[in-house]
Amino acid sequence: MDIVLQQLVNGLTLGSVYGLIAIGYTMVYGIIGMINFAHGDVYMVSAYLTAISIALLTFFGVESFPFIIFGALVFTIVITGAYGWVIERVAYRPLRNSSRLSVLISAIGMSLILQNYVQLSQGPNQQGVPTLITGAFRFHIGDGYVQITYMKVLILLIALAGMGILTYIIQKTKLGRMCRATQQDRKMASILGIDTDKVISSVFVIGSAMAALAGVLVTLDYGAFDFYIGFIMGIKAFTAAVLGGIGSLPGAMLGGLILGLSESLFAGLVSSDYKDVFSFSLLVLILIIRPSGLLGKPAVEKV
């Protein structure tokens, strides 16, 4: 019983992280219909940026952890957003009118570039950040107990705040309206005077910023990372996006939570060796059985 509860808690935080990264996939897919294969590696870059910002802040004598976390968040989100913009500008915009296969191959190339560039710049070894927040809530249940670290609480809160801000931007602001219009019909939106190129760029920036948020949170919680973490995380977040229905924002968050919870339960109750196999199998199964996901609209192919 306590194992199940503990795994549920772990799954909730894991799921909110998946959800944050899945937003990047789902928004990009919704607006230009491509899988941004490099998105997982953008997340990886943000993990490095987190560590760099923490090292810089401690070097300049910032000691209190609220400032460090705030500084790391701002630094990482801004620079990772710049990465999103550059990636779109360099690898995807010249291919706007090409076949989907070309764009996907270009994205795979971008993913390889990012991985190798970080590896060459920062060295192939695993890196880490110091633990900033220690301590936990403990709830005794029967013989065992369930432990919720303060860090996990913080992850949940910040992830919720991030999703809230995003929902506000998409639903209430002018930029959000332009995004939704472009998503519905790019040609029509551009006829009506929306600079669709700019909208697409900003979608990449927003998606990368969300990935950066996840990157900061996971790095602070987990501590260690290397240049290869983006691959697995990217596929899992993509699974989350597909599970919720690709193109749908609430779907990405819901899919993330469901994937995180089910994966944690599987790892706790069945086998942690095969938890990645479980996630991949889930992805394959969803795509076969219900490709439109839980909240997505089925794709209609017009001739």
In the window 262-281, what residues touch another protein (CB under 8 A)? 273-274, 276-277, 280-281
Total residues belonging to the chain: 303
Closest CB 14 distance from another protein, rounded Å: 18
172 vs 34: CA distance, rounded Å: 26
Nearest CB to another protein, comparing residues 12 and 110: 110
* 111: amino acid identity, one letter: S
User: For residues 216-235, which are near another protein according to CB under 8 A?
Assistant: 231, 235
Closest approach of Cβ 116 to another protein, in Å?
4
Pick from 14, 77, 129, 261: which binds another protein (CB under 8 A)? 129
- One residue of 3, 102, 139, 168 binding another protein per CB under 8 A: 102
303 binds another protein (CB under 8 A): yes
Is 45 one of the binding residues for another protein (CB under 8 A)?
yes
Nearest residue (CB) to another protein, 138 versus 297:
297
- The answer to whether 131 and 223 are in contact (CB under 8 A) is yes
- Binding test (CB under 8 A) with another protein, winner from 26, 115, 182, 196: 115
Contact 148, 74 (CB under 8 A): no
Residues in 138-177 that interact with another protein by CB under 8 A? none
Query: In DSSP terms, which residues pair with 136 in a beta bridge?
Result: 149
Measured CA to CA, the distance from residue 65 to residue 54 in angstroms comes to 10
- For residues 209 and 84, the answer to whether their CB atoms sit within 8 Å is yes
Closer to another protein by Cβ: residue 79 or 153: 79
Q: Which is nearer to another protein, 119 or 149 (CB)?
A: 119
Q: Which is nearer to another protein, 163 or 230 (CB)?
A: 230
**Smallest separation, CB 257 to another protein (Å):** 20
Strands (E) across the chain are located at 127-128, 136-141, 144-149, 224-225
Secondary structure class of 137 (helix, strand, coil): strand
User: Which tokens sit at 264?
Assistant: 């944690």
The string over 118-134, giving b where at least 16 C-beta atoms fall within 10 Å of a residue's C-beta and e elsewhere, is beeeeeeeebebeebee
Q: How many residues bind another protein (CB under 8 A)?
A: 71
Distances (CA, A) of 148 to 13, 19, 65, 224: 10, 20, 19, 20
- The CB-of-6 to another protein minimum distance in angstroms stands at 23
Percent helix, percent strand, percent coil in the chain, to nearest 5: 75, 5, 20
Residue whose CB is less far from another protein, 72 or 253: 72
Q: By CB under 8 A, name the one of 8, 62, 113, 154 that touches another protein.
A: 113
User: Binding another protein by CB under 8 A: which of 18, 43, 238, 266?
Assistant: 238
Q: Which two tokens stand for residue 265?
A: 């339960």
Task: Retrieve residue 213's tokens.
Answer: 């948020």
284 in contact with another protein (CB under 8 A): yes
* Interacting residues with another protein between 63 and 82 (CB under 8 A): 75, 79, 82
Contact 111, 118 (CB under 8 A): no
Token couple for 170: 């998409």
Which is nearer to another protein, 159 or 226 (by Cβ)?
226
Q: Which stretch binds another protein (CB under 8 A): 27-35, 136-144, 166-174, 189-197?
A: 27-35
